Each structure stands twice: as C-alpha cells, then as structure tokens.
Amino acid sequence: MHFGYFSLTSYVISCVIMLLAFAIRGMIGFGSGLISVSLLIFFLPIKEAVPVVFLLGALAALALGSYDFKQIAWLEMPWLWIFTILGLIVGAWILKTLPAQSLTVILGIFILLYVLYAAVIKPDRLPMVSKTWGAPLGFLGGIIGSLYGGGGPSIVAYLQMRHLNKREFRASFQFIAATDAVVRGVLYFLLGFLSMRTVLTAAWLLPATGIGLVTGNVLHFRIKPKPFQYMVLVVLAIAGIKLVIP
C-alpha cells in the first residue's frame, strides 16, 4: 500500500515526524520546516520534500497567523518583510539551479555562533538591534526558507533581539511565514516543483500535521517566558547543526 511517495512503513514514520515538528511549530512559532525536511529526506529527495513541507507549513502559517493576528508587531515588518521576499526569490533560484546543501554552511555557522552568544549573554539580556537589521537578516531568512522550508533562523534571531513577548514573537513570525507561503507558492509553481502527486502526499500527512499544531498551541500558553526563550535557542541550534552537517 502506498501513500503518495510513501510505503506504509515510511508513511507511519513520516506522520510521527510531522506531528513532532508541527508541535514545535505550534509551541514556539517556527522550526517545523528545517526539522521535518531534515528527516523526510530519508524518504524523499530534497526537491520533493521541500514542496511537501511547504504546503503543510503554509496551512500552519495561515492557521496560526489568523489565530494570532491581533498580536502581530506591525512596526517590525517593513525592512524585514521586503527583504525576506527578495531572499525567497534568490533561494528559489538557487534550489532550481545549484546544489543547495553546499551553499548554507556559512549560515549554519552564523546561527550556531548566535546561539552560543545568546546562551552566554542570556536571551533576556540580548542587545536591542535597530529595525534596519531586518534587511540582511530577512534576506538570509528568505534564502534559507526557499532552500529548506525553514522560514529562516536569522529572522528568529532578529525577532529575539527586538525583545518581543512570546505571543508577539509567534504572531510576527507567522505573518512572515504567510508571506513566505504566497511567494514560494508562486515561485515553486513557476519552477515546476509543485505537482498533483506532491499535493496528494501533503494531504496524507495533513492529519498528523494538524494534531501536532493543536498540541503545540496548547503547550504555547502553558510555557513560561524564560523556558520559551531557551527552547527557541535549542531549535535554532538544531537548525544550525543541520545546515553545517547536511
């Protein structure tokens, strides 16, 4: 028996992967893309895994974004939003034409250095950066979002250093993720990454994704701010390691 790209065994394992990845997404607002793509590539080629996770991540962004809409920190958006879109376009071109895995080691090292710095300084004592930092960090985030469906660890670093509370952090990231979904959807369609089989495979994984997202949302309201900040750093560290060691 087959489920899209999957046999029965790989389908069950993939459902567990998606449930856990999107539970993390529901709890802290990001992390589902890099985690799920990193594990799904054991069952799918990366150029098939990324669009499948993209479709599910787009639904998650719309669900969480509508739920958190009133909490979005709109004043953080101008630089971040515009340059994230530019990064998404560049990342999609890289995914189409170049070996994506070989181009992200420097970004992975940057993320790990940031995690080490934030852990030593402590998240609540990170410096307050200016909004113009949204430009380079948004651009990097857009590139990595297109390559790995991760939405951009550098965007997370920017939002952390703007010292948003956990609800504003999650809501603002979902707005960027929703933008990511629209832009990448158009780019992936034009580049031929989306097919009916991709849509069907995503549909098979949708129930596990939904259960994970709801579970994570419940946990989001139970976790205290300081553990929340350290959990963000842990997920960033995992993302950084994945980029350095594909």
Q: For position 228, what pLDDT does the model report?
A: 75
Output the six-digit token pair for 89. Answer: 């376009």
Burial 102-140 (b: 16+ CB within 10 A, else e): ebbeebbebbbebbeebeeeebeebeeeeeebbbebbbb
Q: Tokens standing for 82?
A: 């515009």
Q: Specify the number of domains making up the chain.
A: 1
Question: pLDDT below 70 — which residues of the chain?
Answer: 1-6, 98-104, 106-107, 110, 121, 123-124, 147-152, 243, 246
CB 202 within 8 A of CB 55: yes
Task: Identify the pLDDT of residue 210.
Answer: 92
Closest CA to 81 of 189, 174, 188: 174
Nearest to 110 by CA among 148, 140, 151: 140
**Cβ neighbourhood burial of 151 (10 Å; 0-12, 13-18, 19+):** buried
| CA distance linking residue 61 with residue 30, whole number of Å | 9
Each residue of 68-104: pLDDT tens digit? 778 888 888 888 888 988 988 888 787 777 665 555 5
Distance of CA 137 to the CA centre of its chain: 14
Look up the pTM and report it: 0.69
Q: Which domain holds residue 144?
A: 2-244
What is the pLDDT, as a whole number, of residue 227?
81
Q: Which of 15, 229, 197 is nearest to 123 (CA)?
A: 229
- Report d(CA 21, CA 202) in Å as an integer: 14
Instruction: Write b or e for each residue in 69-92: b if 16 or more Cβ atoms lie within 10 A of its Cβ, otherwise e.
Output: eebbbeebbebbbbbbbebbbebb
| C-beta of residue 162 within 8 angstroms of C-beta of residue 169 | no
* pLDDT (0 to 100) of residue 98: 65
Angle of CA points 90, 170, 127, to nearest 5°? 80
Asked if 75 contacts 170 with a C-beta cutoff of 8 angstroms, the reply is: no
pLDDT value for 211: 94
Which amino acid makes up residue 145? Answer: G
- Which 3 state secondary structure label does DSSP give 6? strand
